[in-house]
Amino acid sequence: MKDFITETIKEESIHSLKRLIAIPSINTTQNNELAFPPFGKEIDKALKETLQICDKLGMDTFYDPEGYYGFAEYGQGSETVGVLCHLDVVPEGDRDKWQSDPFELTERKGVLYGRGVQDDKGPTIAALYALKSVMDAGETFNRKIRFIFGTDEETLWRCMRMYKKHETLPNFGFVPDGSFPLTYAEKGLLQVRMTGPGAAKMRVKCGQSPNVVPDYAEYTSGNIKELTAVFQNMRIPYKVEGEKIIVHGKTAHSSVAHEGKNAIAILAKGLVSVQPHPVISLIAEKIGLETNGESLFGKVIKDRSGELTLNVGKLEITDTSSELVLDIRIPVSYDKEEIEEKLKTVGALYGMDYQIIDYLPSHHIPVESDLVQTLWSIYREKTGDTTVPNTSGGVSFARAMPHFVAFGARFPEVRSTAHQENECMTVDNFYKALSIYAETIYQLCCTA
């Protein structure tokens, strides 16, 4: 295999990554369908910045005039290889927990820190400069390669719906937003909202995003002394600030919810006996600290993609209404309609209405396919690692396109820090991924 990566490529890629990390590309439009740009000025700025980088790399670029997506391409041929990336990021979380500015790429002891460095700006830049390294080597492209840049992967994927409405789909490709060696199957994603009555004497507002295990939850009321006695008796760690009682958990991505500690669930466990409310009771009695949904759904099957994963992502109680948002990752062979039926039934018992926020079907590309076998072979030869292709509870853009898989950029031994404070990627991981992507682009586009 060729070694396409030069010191110049390494230096330029880090410089471009700095430019992208500096843009806080968080959705700020609150799902306002009339907004322009559709997901806020910072996401639009990140899209335009990325297209400028691509233009300087020698690619032909396109910016959707409605601001939903952009793409950049290079090469010739009747077939197109796609590389599908996203430029939006989740909120930074608790800034006090960051050891450096989340929107300034910082290197400490060989580790790069910044929001998006692992999900998905770092992998995006690695793949782009992998292409540049193959271009610089003078290789002939027999297939066209198109980088597609999404802008609301962390929310509702409207960017992909618009892309598929207006543009030609690549023949096949990969998403640099997962782990190596590659992910060939992904669970279904179901995000739901359950709404019910309000409460006159209590206020709760917890959680930032359905796909993040919340590490902070607070409750405001006048019965703090009674509650602290209960929390002490139940050995629930808490902190009091005026009329607020605060509990902390541990954040994690909802696809691996068992790696976190859900602060909302912990709060509900303490509140339910003192401050009863339908939504608090539902959480405490039917979810608790479980992350597999067994109390809510009964015994859930486990297949090659793993078991069901459940996360209480957001909770709000006002004087007029209550809202609970759940993120559910459904095994590939499990029936989504059965999950819905049980949610509706349980919701009705607690006076809660049910509404789907988002649903993405499961995704599966056969291990025996040419795409999976080619990418897996490249990974093995580049690293010497014989780890087999995997399945995931995470949701990648791979399922947005037919014949796509998630391919890196995180290595098997590396902990996922996506959606967490101090999100990071080692410099070594970044450069190794860059090298693997270069060989991949060469084999898919230049040797066909």
CATH number, residue 99 = 3.40.630.10
45 and 182, same domain (yes or no): yes
149 and 203, same domain (yes or no): no
Least confident stretch, 30-39, 66-75, 381-390, 425-434: 30-39
242 in any annotated domain: yes
C-beta of residue 414 within 8 angstroms of C-beta of residue 118: no
Residue 110 structure tokens:
């060989």
C-beta of residue 241 within 8 angstroms of C-beta of residue 217: no
Average pLDDT over the chain reads 93
Residues 6+ apart with CB under 8 A from 337: none
C-beta of residue 37 within 8 angstroms of C-beta of residue 43: yes
Whether cis (ω within 30° of 0) applies to the bond prior to 120 is yes
In single-letter form, the type of residue at position 401 comes to M
Phi then psi dihedrals of residue 69, to 5 deg:
-160, 175
2 in any annotated domain: no
How is residue 308 annotated by DSSP?
Answer: -
CATH number, residue 306 = 3.30.70.360
391 in any annotated domain: yes
> Rounded distance, CA 50 to CA 87, Å?
9
pLDDT band (50, 70, 90) for residue 332? confident
32 and 107, same domain (yes or no): yes
1 in any annotated domain: no
Is the entire prediction scored with pTM above 0.95? no
Backbone conformation region of residue 382, classed left if phi is above 0, alpha if psi is from -120 to 50, else beta: alpha
427 in any annotated domain: yes
419 and 291, same domain (yes or no): no
Of 360, 389, 412, the last residue of a domain is: 360
How is residue 399 annotated by DSSP?
Answer: G
- Distances from the Cα of 227 to the Cα of 197, 214, 279, 288, angstroms: 22, 21, 18, 18
Residue 148 structure tokens:
């597609």
Of 360, 386, 408, the last residue of a domain is: 360
297 and 399, same domain (yes or no): no
Is the pLDDT confidence value at 242 over 90? no
Count CA atoms within 13 Å of residue 228 on its CB side. Answer: 15
195 and 332, same domain (yes or no): yes
pLDDT band (50, 70, 90) for residue 403? very high
Give me the mean pLDDT over the 427-448 stretch. Answer: 96
C-beta of residue 310 within 8 angstroms of C-beta of residue 289: no
Neighbours of 169 (CB within 10 A): 17
Burial of 225 (0-12, 13-18, 19+ CB in 10 A): exposed
313 and 352, same domain (yes or no): yes
Q: What angle do CA 284, 290, 294 make, to 5 degrees?
A: 95
402 and 389, same domain (yes or no): yes
229 and 337, same domain (yes or no): yes
Does an H or E element contain 18, and which?
A: helix 7-21
Q: Where are the alpha helices (DSSP H) in 175-293?
A: 224-233, 263-271, 278-286
Does an H or E element contain 112, and which?
A: strand 111-113
Residue 158 structure tokens:
């409207």
Give me the mean pLDDT over the 219-231 stretch. Answer: 83
Give me the mean pLDDT over the 227-245 stretch. Answer: 85
Give me the mean pLDDT over the 82-94 stretch. Answer: 96
Of the candidates 46, 50, 127, 126, the residue with the CA atom closest to the CA atom of residue 81: 127
92 and 44, same domain (yes or no): yes
409 in any annotated domain: yes
Dihedral sign, CA of 342, 321, 33, 36?
negative
In the chain, the percentage of residues whose pLDDT exceeds 70 is 99
Strands 80-86 and 172-175: parallel
Predicted local distance difference test score (pLDDT) of residue 1: 82
Number of domains in the chain: 2
11 in any annotated domain: yes
Residue 348 structure tokens:
């009705």
C-beta of residue 182 within 8 angstroms of C-beta of residue 387: no
Of 324, 340, 360, the last residue of a domain is: 360
Residue 114 structure tokens:
């910044």
Does an H or E element contain 316, and which?
A: strand 309-317
Predicted local distance difference test score (pLDDT) of residue 38: 96
Does an H or E element contain 105, and which?
A: none
172 and 201, same domain (yes or no): no
Q: Where are the alpha helices (DSSP H) in 365-426?
A: 370-383
Give me the mean pLDDT over the 117-140 stretch. Answer: 98
198 and 271, same domain (yes or no): yes
Backbone conformation region of residue 30, classed left if phi is above 0, alpha if psi is from -120 to 50, else beta: left
What is the extent of the structural domain holding 147? Answer: 7-187+363-445
C-beta of residue 288 within 8 angstroms of C-beta of residue 182: no
384 in any annotated domain: yes
Predicted local distance difference test score (pLDDT) of residue 294: 93
